[in-house]
Every structure is written in C-alpha cells, then in structure tokens.
Structure 1
Amino acid sequence: MGRHEAPPRPASILVAIASYGASNRRYLEQLIETYRGFSQQVSIVVLSNEPKDLGADVEVRVGLPSPDPWSLPFAHKALFAERQDEFDYFIYSENDTLITQANFDAFAEVEETLPEHCIAGFLRHEIGPDGALHYSTVHGSYHWEPATVQVIEGEVFANYSNEHSAAFILSRQKLKHCIASGGFLRDPHVGRYDMLCSAATDPYTGCGLQRLICVSRIEEFSLHHMPDKYVGRIGVPKAEIDLQLAAICRHARAGVPLAELLRPERRVPSTARYDRCYYSAPLPSAVAAMPATPARILSVGCDQGQTEGNLVERGHAVDAIPLDPVIAASSELRGVTTLPIDADDPLGRIEPGAYGSVLMNFYLPFVPDPVAALREAARVIEPGGRVVLSFWNWQSLRETVHRRRERRSFPDRADAGDFARSGIHRTDPATVRRWMQQAGFRLDHITYDVPSGKEWLSRLTLGAADRWLAPTATAVSAPIGTPQG
C-alpha cells in the first residue's frame, strides 16, 4: 500500500430479519449476536408485527405489508429499496435461519466469479441429537437440476430446485437488478411457494437471476435452521447428500453432461404437487407385487430407491434406470444397481427377457405414450414374468376433494391430468387397466395402499372401498405368456 493510499473500506451490510411474535425470540437474539460479531459494518433491522426491545443498535420496524400475517417477510423489500445506495450487501432472513461470517465470506468470494445473471445461493440444514447434519431443504419433488451443473474458476456449481432457503444475500448491483426487473417490489403473493417462502425466493423466481449453489464447498453454502424440528420427518442426512454431490462433481469435472430420464417439473405453474417425487416412501403395494422368491427386477423411474432397497433386502437383484445420475447415488446406497440413462430409448440396451418383473415406478404418467412404454417393457420380461405398475390414484376421495378445492383458487390446476396441457396423465384404476389392455397385457389385480387408520373401513367393505381410500396403488399383470381370458 502506498504512503498516501487509504486502507480499503470494510464492506457494509444491511440485514433485515422477519420476526413475527415472540416464539422464536431466542433464535432471533442469536442471529443478532452473530451479526454483531461480523468483521464488516453491519446495520440490523428487525421487521415485526409488534414492538420489540432488542438493543439500541437494532432498528425495529413494526407493521405488515398487508392484513395477512404471512405477508410480514415482504416488508424487507421496501426497506432495501429505500437504502439501496447506502450498503454494499443486503441480507434477508427469517428469524430462525443463521448466516455466519463464514457463510457471508464464502458468498462474497464466489459472487465475484459468477456471471452477471447468476447469484450464489444456499441450502438449509438441521442438526440431529447425534450431531449429524440433515439437509431439510431436500425432500419431495425437489432435486439437483442437471442442466445447471457447471465449473466456474475451479469450483462446481448447480441449482437445487427448492429455491427456498429462508434467506438470501444480494450485492448492491444484484439488488438494483432485482428492483429494475419489476419482480422485486411486488405486493405479497403466492405461487409455487406459499407467501412466506415467496418473499425469500423472488430474486430467483421473479427477477431474472439464476441461483447457483457451490456444491464443491457445500459446508460454506448451507445455513443452519436452528429449531432442528424436521430431523427424522423431512430431509436427507448429509452423508447421503455428500454422495449426490460427489456424483455432480465427478460429472462436471469430467465434462460429462448429466442425463435425465424425464423432466420432473410439470406445466402447472402454481404448484409442485404434480411434479415427479424424488424422495418417495417405500410403497407396500409394489413390494407385495413381487415374487416371494428372489428374482431379477428392473425398476424404471427409480428415485431415492426406498422401494427398490426394500426389495433388495428381501433377496431380489434389482437393477434400475434412475431419474438422473445424481439421485442414482441414493439408490445405489440402498443396494440397487443403476443403469445408464437414455431418455429417448430407456430400455433399448437391455436384452430381451432379461428380467422376471419390470416395475414402472410412477413413471408412466410422465411419458407422452404410456402404452408404447408398456409394450417396450414386455420385450425385456421373461416368459412367466410380470409388469408391475405403481400409480398415484386420482380416484381416491382425498385426491378428488383436494383437486376440487384447489381448482377454485388456482384455475391452472384444472389442466392437471391433461397431458398435452400439463405434462401429466391422470392415473386411476380404469386408466391403468386400459393402458395395460392396449399394450397387450392382461390385468391380474390391483393392490391399494390403504392409509393407516382406514384399514377398518377396508376390512368392513371386504376391500371394495380401497379404490376410494388409497392415494397410491400398484397394478400387476398376469404372467407374460398366459392366454388371454
């Protein structure tokens, strides 16, 4: 540094924390204490529905953007717009999600390397009683997006489709971009996320920025959800996610694109409910459909692999065509052998008669021609084998009521079930039976997954009510080669 050069000015940060009521007071105080310890110049504003005494150095803004209590998180937007020229960085978070000095420093470092249209993002984790980390962001239909995987300045980045991490960081430049886009200073709203989550995702979902997570340094890009209340309920242990990230890094650094068996997102903008799930629970009806003695089984559309892993535990040899090579790491952890993915011809490399059973694992609703897919499956089944088709039962009363209610509030959801408009076929017992018959199979039986607590009604009706009780089911063909009856 020259004699007359001034030392560099520490970066300045405006932090906005949404804090409704008093239930998370201890987490809020921990957040404030953490920000007070930052090496940067930090100004803290707490957005609240009621007055709070949090110290002389903490500004408390009281008031809701709309009468809906869930609108409180949107209050940070006007604040950031007012002070966009006063700070270098802007942090928003809910009052139970911790951003540490290490998180911020890692963000500031990689942000310098990202293209202008990209922004560094975060996952969220929780800590179990044994001290092990669990990624609570990871569940349901959310997944690593293969098309976003890239190497930048030696680090591997990818987007995770669950863009809600309850917090974000914006540089002044990126904040100005968001404001200019017209997607930031909007009234409180909902979409694929509820109102609470929408406030924390708008920079990525409504302002033209692409979020990228630095997966090769994931520990620095994961935020602690301090209540740890989802451990054992939703989320995936770090040890399993590390296997997925290793697969991403391996493909990225080798320059090998990550294939996808199908695009999991459906064309129903207001919800992710119709997207293909990546973390399905074991499906009892599918397990029950398999032979009692060890057999060779092919699963088409394997996700995390809990159903397939259950079959492995029962002595079956299970091969799988996974949804993508990343989720394949999870199914391999459960003893499943995964095969290469060719979305145009998934079964093309498989020898005729190679398997005793083929499980179509919630796969057919997402392909344009389910009958053609079933006919191709027949080629790889040995004589006396079966095709087993797991499906989401749209005829169930719960599903019927749910869809009737949601269509009243979200008209676009009326398209769900029409493949041309939504990208998903309706599946119910009659539809599945018709697909099987058109493909040349004879339906042997359907087993329904009756929810716990409803078994008494199933027994009372001798199973006649099952098709209206069960949200999922599995159809099983007659043995291949048996005469049509």
Structure 2
Amino acid sequence: MKLLAVLVNYGDEQLSYLEQVVAALKRFKKYEVTVIVQSNIPLEIEGVDIVNVVVLNNYQLLPLTCRKEIWKRKDEYDVFIYGENDHLFLEKHVDKHIEYSSFLPENRIPGLIQYENDGGDFYYVGYHSHFDWDYDSVEIHNGKKFAYFSNTHQATFILTKKQLEKVGNTINFEKLIRYKPFYLYNNFANSIRKKFKKPIVEPFRYSLKCKVNTDVYDFGGMKKVICISEFEDNRIHHLPNLYIEGLKGRRKLNSDEDRMRFALQKMLKN
C-alpha cells in the first residue's frame, strides 16, 4: 500500500524529534512510504522525500498547509498521515487503523491518544481539565471495545483514502472550520448543559494548530473512537515529554497512569 505522511515543522528546535519520526516511518515494512515536510526553514533530513518551504504571515496556519498537500495528492496514495514533528508514528498505528476501519460503521473512525513517558509511568497529556471519557459510549465491534474521549486533539490523524474522501465531501479539507457556539456541536458540552441546567454559549476553542486534526474528528462526519480493549496499541508518544514536569512553560497536567487505568477498568467492566 502507498502511504503519504505529511509532517509540519517550525524552526530548528525540534529537528532531533523530526529525525526520529521520519526514521520510524521509513522503517515501515508493509507500506511504500513517502514523507513530505512543510517547514518554514530549509531542511536536510535523511528519509524526507520532499521539503516544501512555506512563507506565511501567520505561522499558526503552517500545519494547515499539510492538509492542503494531502488533498492535492489524494488520488495518489492509499493511506494518509498528518503529524506534528514530535509525534512518533509506529507501523502498528497504521495496521490497527486499517484493521478497525474494515469493520467499524462508516460513521466511526479509529483514533489515537497522546502520551508521555519519563522511563517509568505513562502520562496522558490530553487527559486534563474537563476532558474525560464518555463512560456511556462503549461499543463492541468485531469483539473489540471502543469508546469516545472528549478531547479529540491528538496532533495527528490517519485516514484511508475512503475516509479522506468522506471528510472532503463533508467539509472543505483545505480550510479550517469556523468556530460555532460550544453547545451546538460538542457532545461533552451538551452533557454539562444538562447537568447544570443552563446553556453553554462560550465557544470551545482549540487553537488553529490543533484544529488541523480536530476539525477532521469533530466535523468530518465520523465519530472518533479509541479501541480500549487494545489500548496500548493506540497510544502515540509525544517525544519531548514536556508536560510531565511542566518544561518550557507547559503546564504540568494531571494525567497520570493511575487515572487512565481506573477509567479503562471502569469502561471495560461495563
């Protein structure tokens, strides 16, 4: 199968992570992998097939150029990956995505969840603030259990050609979705509204960079679900491990392994 991976890079601070990500992609054995990097600076990294140096007034929109590059090449590949330069794709991520997509309903799409690891425990950077699992969302498909996690951001996406076409028929794949009132589109907001018996009208805002992947999951016509019965296969490593200690201004997040383990046990039991 032909696989296109389009990665975003800004500056030279994280080039060591980009090198790891590209090397891992090029080690895939079942896929013919092409790697394109959208960058604001020239790059010479082994394994990168194309570097597109992009000049923008607002570099928060640099990740969006990855979606444009994917859409331009939608007829040339079977599987498509978007990723930030510090998220480590493994071949099993693609294997599992294709496997799950073969039996999930067409209005479901398999996703990943980010983690950091300091050599000991795992930390889940998206599992903070009000974000949580929807404990009533557990579904069984082909003997495997899936559930919905309210933070759809994972700094990446994987799409089959069929899924890419479905998203592209639902939204303009080359543009970001304009924000809508929180209560109009977010299931988690609706649950909060019912609990407190009042409307939530503030928009729930992912950053422009985050929306490059969250738009796909929130507006692309498919509900993102994560396979919880094979949870370890569906985690993706955020290589810098910045959130564990709150380095470089990142807020230290309450997302430890015990909290995740308890949530998974609860859902799998139910």
Give the TM-score category using the shorter length.
0.7 to 0.9
2:10 to 20, 25, 30: 20
Task: Please give the alpha-carbon distance, in whole angstroms, between the structure 2 residues aligned to 1:212 and 1:183.
Answer: 22
Task: Please give the alpha-carbon distance, in whole angstroms, between the structure 2 residues aligned to 1:211 and 1:48.
Answer: 28
1:112 to 102, 113, 120: 102
2:226 to 205, 213, 225: 213
Q: How does 1:9-408 map to 2 (within 5 A)?
A: 11-39=1-29, 40-55=31-46, 57-64=48-55, 66-128=56-118, 130-187=119-176, 192-232=205-245, 233-251=252-270
Residue type of the alignment partner of 1:243: F
CA contact (8 A) 1:18 1:93 kept: yes
Task: Please give the alpha-carbon distance, in whole angstroms, between the structure 2 residues aligned to 1:219 and 1:155.
Answer: 13
CA contact (8 A) 1:167 1:200 kept: yes
Name the SS of the counterpart of 1:239 in structure 2: helix
Residue type of the alignment partner of 1:170: L
Give the paired residue count: 239
Q: For 1:155-204, what per-residue CA distance to the aligned partner results, in whole angstroms no more than 9, with x for missing partners?
A: 11011001001011000000011111124221586662011101121111
Q: Give the aligned CA root-mean-square deviation in angstroms.
A: 1.6
Q: For 1:265-295, what per-residue CA distance to the aligned partner results, in whole angstroms no more than 9, with x for missing partners?
A: xxxxxxxxxxxxxxxxxxxxxxxxxxxxxxx
Task: Please give the alpha-carbon distance, in whole angstroms, between the structure 1 residues aligned to 2:253 and 2:47.
Answer: 39
Give the drift of 1:235. Answer: 3.9
| Alignment TM-score, normalising by the size of structure 1 | 0.48
Instruction: Show structure 1 runs of 5+ residues with no match.
Output: 1-10, 252-485
Task: Please give the alpha-carbon distance, in whole angstroms, between the structure 1 residues aligned to 2:238 and 2:84.
Answer: 10
Residue in structure 1 matched with residue 248 of structure 2 by the alignment: none
Task: Please give the alpha-carbon distance, in whole angstroms, between the structure 1 residues aligned to 2:12 and 2:72.
Answer: 27
Task: Please give the alpha-carbon distance, in whole angstroms, between the structure 2 residues aligned to 1:22 and 1:124.
Answer: 23
Name the SS of the counterpart of 1:236 in structure 2: coil
Task: Please give the alpha-carbon distance, in whole angstroms, between the structure 2 residues aligned to 1:222 and 1:235.
Answer: 17
Task: Please give the alpha-carbon distance, in whole angstroms, between the structure 2 residues aligned to 1:183 and 1:160.
Answer: 25
Name the SS of the counterpart of 1:247 in structure 2: helix
Give the drift of 1:147. Answer: 4.0
Residue type of the alignment partner of 1:186: K
Give the drift of 1:57. Answer: 4.6
Residue type of the alignment partner of 1:241: M
Task: Please give the alpha-carbon distance, in whole angstroms, between the structure 1 residues aligned to 2:45 and 2:236.
Answer: 23
Residue in structure 2 matched with residue 423 of structure 1 by the alignment: none
Q: Answer with 1 or 2: which has the greater Rg.
A: 1
Task: Please give the alpha-carbon distance, in whole angstroms, between the structure 2 residues aligned to 1:148 and 1:56.
Answer: 40
Residue type of the alignment partner of 1:176: E
Give the drift of 1:206. Answer: 2.0
Give the drift of 1:69. Answer: 1.1
Give the drift of 1:240. Answer: 2.8
CA contact (8 A) 1:189 1:198 kept: no
Name the SS of the counterpart of 1:146 in structure 2: coil
CA contact (8 A) 1:189 1:195 kept: no
| Alignment TM-score, normalising by the size of structure 2 | 0.84
Residue type of the alignment partner of 1:75: T
Task: Please give the alpha-carbon distance, in whole angstroms, between the structure 2 residues aligned to 1:57 and 1:222.
Answer: 24
Task: Please give the alpha-carbon distance, in whole angstroms, between the structure 1 residues aligned to 2:108 and 2:149.
Answer: 14
Name the SS of the counterpart of 1:124 in structure 2: strand
Instruction: Show structure 2 runs of 5+ residues with no match.
Output: 180-203, 246-251
Give the drift of 1:146. Answer: 3.1
CA contact (8 A) 2:2 2:33 kept: yes
Name the SS of the counterpart of 1:26 in structure 2: helix
Residue type of the alignment partner of 1:247: K
Higher RCO (CA < 8 A, seq sep 6+)? 2
Residue type of the alignment partner of 1:63: V
Name the SS of the counterpart of 1:148 in structure 2: coil
